Amino acid sequence: MSEFRRQAVLEQIRTQGEVSVDALAEQFGVSVQTVRKDLARLGEERLVTRTHGGARLASRVENMSYEARRLLAEDAKKAIAHAVADRVPSSASLFVNIGTTTEAVAEALTGHDDLLVITNNINVASLMRPHRHLRVIIASGEVRSSDGGIVGEAAVEFIRQFKVDYAVIGASAIDEDGALLDFDYREVKVTQAILDNARHVILAADCGKHERTAPVRIGHVSRVHTFVTDRCRDADFRRRLDRFGVTLVETT
């Protein structure tokens, strides 16, 4: 039964991205101590990473599912999105790249007037398309079936045609040395082109990105002008942002 329960817990983490000890104890009708033992065992097998009060999927080379990422830190992403939208004026041009946080930003921007939005994210284009006061241009290239991201050399070359006022980017992970990381090297190439062709770069990422890792380097946080997050607990990282002249905006 314990092995069956651990497999069920692991499947739930793969689906949701993150779980809490209390919720699992209630769901399976066992004590919180039993759940902690289950999570400790899954942690020893490097299948999950323990968090305060729960666990999340441990993945260093493969991202969690799009649906799990969309639900993860949902409230924090909404707050971050509104803070980003407050910093983008109407009548601006901007890039919006792939990610569930950047999709939340796109939704928050639908109240703006006369924006020109260039994106390699089908979900962003779908969110903004019904609003006639917004112009949306979507990149060409291969559509990734997992999340609607458009990747590849065609998308890179498409992005290079523009020079915009703002770029809103996300990242799958932020390393302690300030490296911005992701999982798909083709997606990273597009994001690097976005960084090269925007006058002001806004990184939108919740604090959980500091606890994750990914294998492909996008660039360094010094390439960013504004970092919008829910909270930044790491004093060293704060000092690093200050040293590179990056404006930190916290929503909580």
When pLDDT is cut at 50, 70 and 90, the band that residue 63 belongs to is: low
- Output the pLDDT for position 59: 60
- Name the burial class of residue 52, with classes exposed (0-12), middle (13-18) and buried (19+) by CB atoms within 10 angstroms of its CB: exposed
pLDDT at 192 over 70: yes
204 closest CA partner among 112, 79, 94, 114 = 79
**Average pLDDT of 116-132?**
96
Instruction: Return the SS3 of 227.
Output: strand
Neighbours of 146 (CB within 10 A): 11
Q: What is the DSSP letter of 149?
A: B
Residue 227 to residue 247: CA distance in whole angstroms:
6
Instruction: Return the SS3 of 88.
Output: coil
User: For residue range 167-187, what is the model confidence (pLDDT) as tens digits?
Assistant: 999 999 999 999 999 999 999
Query: Which domains does the chain carry?
Result: 2-60 (1.10.10.10), 69-250 (3.40.50.1360)
Q: Which helix (H) or strand (E) holds 145?
A: none
E strands, 31-172, where?
48-51, 54-57, 93-96, 115-119, 134-138, 142-143, 150-151, 164-169
pLDDT at 65 over 80: no
Identify the weakest region by mean pLDDT among 68-77, 142-151, 154-163, 194-203. 68-77
When pLDDT is cut at 50, 70 and 90, the band that residue 61 belongs to is: very low
Q: What is the DSSP letter of 252?
A: -
- Output the pLDDT for position 60: 57
Residue 86 to residue 240: CA distance in whole angstroms:
24
Neighbours of 101 (CB within 10 A): 28
Residue 79 to residue 252: CA distance in whole angstroms:
9
pLDDT at 62 over 60: no
Instruction: Return the SS3 of 133.
Output: coil
E strands, 93-245, where?
93-96, 115-119, 134-138, 142-143, 150-151, 164-169, 173-174, 179-182, 198-204, 216-220, 226-229
Average pLDDT, the chain: 91
